[in-house]
Structure 1
Amino acid sequence: MSLQLLPPHSWTPGNPKPGIYLEVPERHYHQTGDLSVNADSGISSSMAKKTDQEGTLSQYLLDSGTKTRSLDLGSALHLAVSQPKVFEKRVRLRDVQGAKQSNDYKRALIEFYEQSIPGIPRPECLNPKAPVPKLDKEGNPKLDKEGNPLFEKPEEPKVADLSAHIEALETAADSRGMIFLAPSEWSKLQAMMQSVKTYPGDGIRRLLRGGMAESSIVATCPETGLKLKCRPDFLEVRRGLIVDLKTSANPYPGEFGREVSKWGYHFSAAWYAYVCKLAGIKINQFAFLVIGNEAPHDVALYTMDKATQYDGEIRVRYALDQIAHYYANPKTVHKGINPVGFQEVSAPWWSLTNETKAVFGQE
């Protein structure tokens, strides 16, 4: 069954209908209803992954639909790599100087935001007040030596009012998909993008050719009845290709392989492939574009071996079974690691002293 390609305005936050959507804002994609009641908002890879990692459906999974503002640098990097034209429209350098706790900095930040995000009214309490003349004891205006009137020092706006307006502006920016980077973040982003641009050959350009960036896919699992969703960084339907952009402290094969296991990247790959399959899209290849997040920001392209892919598929099936079991038996939600009593734990064998190993080595 092939799902319909739907416009972004038809996405219903908290209860999207099955389909393939383009240009759905990230905050709308992550917006959920009460997952402890039903899965109408869709189970995502990151939510299901917690079930796999913890071995049970935890309260964390049910709460994980609430999405805070994304890490700005990571979001900006995704746009720069896969949607450069969108990057130019949405990402700005927030070059505001000063001590962040000072009123001068807050006022400068407000001025910067108001220029970048038009249409947000400034609260009356922050508008300049009419100057108040100084008066003498008889109520007459005080004058300086040249005969000019003297005025009282303008009242400083309250810190709480400044902070509240900054928060309102940042919320408005977030709702419009805008991202503001500090100078240090901007410089780092430029360095990372330079590494991508200078990657040998045209492998990255060919990899990201002709597909859809940040598409949102919703489908219903026929076996469990659960509504599932995924949001591939890059999807090319004709080639059956998904590209997942990752940053890594060490982008070389051995260390990144460990990160695949640690962070469940193979789980995500299997999840994306399964949701795409339900949407009528066959995934033939899942590739990683990895960028080092520290200088010199080395770049690598990876795929996974068959054993790793298979392990991801098994884990997805296990997670789906666990989640389906919860919705069939909602009172079984796990709220403790070992609520029935004490459980014995052990320090890693390698961390023990030689004397301890000698005593307990035969047990």
Structure 2
Amino acid sequence: MTPPTKRPRPRIDDVAAAAGVSRGTVSRVLNGGHWVSPEALAAVNAAIKKTGYRVNPHARSLATNRANSVAFLLTESHDKLFEDPNFAVLMRGAADALAVHDIPLVLILAGTEDEQRRANDFITAGHVDGVLLVSAHANRTDIISNIIDARVPAISCGVPLGFERKMGYVAADDYTGARDMLEHLRSLGRTKIATITGPQDTSGGIRRLSAYRDDQGAQFQEQLVGAGDYSRESGAAAMAQLLAAAPDLDAVFAANDLMALGAMDHLAAAGIRVPEDVAVGGFDDIAPSASAHPPLTTIRQPFERISAEMVRLLLGAIKGELPSAVTLPTELVVRDSA
């Protein structure tokens, strides 16, 4: 039996011949279509489809000095990626925004020191053209410093504490959102409002607690502040601590929805009704919040817009634009928990 003849891979010259244009015109089309007439552009695209030509990504990288990929750098542990739905929403939104430009997104997890070292080596070696930094912690600054020192374009989700003037970022208006929630709780007649904070080495955790302190003013009490780490379990533990310290509290604002849902878990187990006895408010508006019992009142972050803006700023940074910062408004979503 005669083996099938292997067809040679189409080359730029084949595309040029099929389109009736020069090799240089095909090359210009493949590199963005600059200085190419609409007629020639249409002819080359038709010829590419007809011949089955495919760009050699390795050759393009060598020619353009670009990796043609972007890193989604998450400085959290692996379990947080699956526990917190916000990360999946941001990653999906970023991937969709980059797909418009035919740029793939590479997920890099860097929750431990070893992972951060490997991530740093990979990023600074030129394997990606830029970085979308998610969940930047103030106690994990080495990797941010290395990215900046290597002049790798990067945009942070949230304010990169200590690097605000050196790295662009996109953030929700954490402070105003938190104030809106607290004002809503007080409008319901709640007078003893507690809070469950996010990590105090993140911009969101710091700003939402600052909003609570300012809202409480002279009535601020340290015993009404419970510490959390954005996990559901930490919300339940903080709620138990708050009830032990102030059993007469009548509302709680949790700095994210997972902790608010954890607080509701503990309140239900303790036989405390929501919202009749204790009103509960969260922050984020993750999907499980709407189906909780009762549905959770929360502050909605525009995650799809955040990821799209991050990609827009990063592509600008890759082109050499100066770092930019964008702060987006939040929205109060009133449901049955408060």
TM-score (norm 2): 0.23
Q: Which has the higher helix share?
A: 2
Q: Which has the higher contact order (CA 8 A, sep 6+)?
A: 1
TM-score (norm 1): 0.22
